[in-house]
Amino acid sequence: MTVITRFAPSPTGLLHIGGARTALYNFLFSRHHGGKFLLRIEDTDRARSTEEAVRVILEGLEWLGITPDEPPLFQSTRFARHVEVAHQLLAAGKAYRCYCTPEELAEMRERALREGRAPRYDGRWRNRDPSEAPPGVAPAIRLKAPQEGETVVEDLVQGTVRVANAELDDMILLRSDGTPTYLHAVVVDDHDMGITHVIRGDDHLTNTFRQIQIYRAMGWEVPRFAHIPLIHGADGKKLSKRHGAVSVLEFREQGYLPEALCNYLLRLGWGHGDLEVISREEAIRLFDIKDVGRAPARMDYAKLTHLNAVWLRRADDERLLAEIEARLALRFGPLTETHRARIRALLPELKERAKTLNDLAEAASFLITRPEFEPKAAALLDASRRALLARLAARLAETPFEDRATLHETLRQFAEAEGLKLGEVAQPLRAALTGRTTSPPIDATLAALGREETLARLKALPPLEEAVETLRDRG
Q: What is the pLDDT of residues 168-195, one digit of tens each?
A: 999 999 999 999 999 999 999 999 999 9
Q: What is the pLDDT of residue 131?
A: 84
Instruction: Please state whether 137 falls in left (phi above 0), alpha (psi between -120 and 50) or beta.
Output: beta
- 328 Cα distance to chain centroid: 23
The order of strands in the sheet holding 36-41 is 4-7, 36-41, 73-74
Please classify residue 216 by burial: count the beta carbons closer than 10 Å to its beta carbon, then call 0-12 exposed, 13-18 middle and 19+ buried. Answer: middle
The pTM (predicted TM-score) of the whole model is: 0.90
In DSSP terms, 162 is beta-bridged to 152
Angle, in degrees to the nearest 10, between helices 422-434 and 442-459: 60
The reply to whether 142 and 171 lie within a common domain is yes
The reply to whether 325 and 211 lie within a common domain is no
Please classify residue 79 by burial: count the beta carbons closer than 10 Å to its beta carbon, then call 0-12 exposed, 13-18 middle and 19+ buried. Answer: middle
- pLDDT of 103 strictly over 90: no
Containing structural domain, residue 264: 4-71+231-305
- Quote the CA–CA distance of 64 and 446 in Å, as a whole number: 37
The SS3 call for residue 161 is strand
* Active-site position among 241, 303, 355, 459: 241
- Quote the CA–CA distance of 195 and 5 in Å, as a whole number: 6
Nearest 5 degrees, angle CA 72-CA 246-CA 361? Answer: 100
The reply to whether 97 and 130 lie within a common domain is yes
pLDDT band at 472 (very low <50, low <70, confident <90, very high): very low
The reply to whether 221 and 122 lie within a common domain is yes
Q: Which segment of 86-90, 330-334, 369-373, 417-421 scores lowest on mean pLDDT?
A: 369-373
First to last CA, the chain: 70
Q: What is the pLDDT of residue 404?
A: 94
The reply to whether 88 and 224 lie within a common domain is yes
Tell me which of 228, 260, 280 is where a domain ends: 228
Domains of the chain: total: 4
Active-site residue 241, yes or no?
Answer: yes
The reply to whether 158 and 34 lie within a common domain is no
The reply to whether 274 and 168 lie within a common domain is no
The reply to whether 87 and 189 lie within a common domain is yes
Q: What is the pLDDT of residue 470?
A: 47
pLDDT band at 241 (very low <50, low <70, confident <90, very high): low
The reply to whether 348 and 274 lie within a common domain is no
Backbone angles phi, psi at 227, to 5 degrees: -105, 110
